Amino acid sequence: MEVEERAGQVAVEAIRCVVVHSSQWAQPQVQACAKAHAQEAERVAEHLRRVAAQRCAWAADAEEAIAA
């Protein structure tokens, strides 16, 4: 293959290529994405638990105010 050097000279050089099947590269990516999704699902679930707890606390306060 012809390659141009910095000085502008063109030379013929051998080039080596490494072929990696996409499935070999994708497997770690799939695992990383699955882990990230699981972590995000846990964060969302924790947030929903906190919101539900606040809602229940407000309901108790409201019932006390109405009863008084």
Task: Render pLDDT for 4-56 as a digit per residue (tens, 0 to 9).
Answer: 777 777 777 777 888 777 777 778 888 899 999 999 999 999 999 988 888 77
How do the domains of the chain map onto residue ranges? 21-67
3 and 13 Cβ atoms separated by less than 8 Å: yes
**pLDDT tier at 3, thresholds 50, 70, 90:** low
Q: What is the pLDDT of residue 10?
A: 76
Q: What is the pLDDT of residue 2?
A: 65
Q: What is the pLDDT of residue 35?
A: 94
> Which 8-state DSSP code applies to residue 22?
H
Q: What is the pLDDT of residue 56?
A: 75
- Residue 59 in this model has a pLDDT that exceeds 70: yes
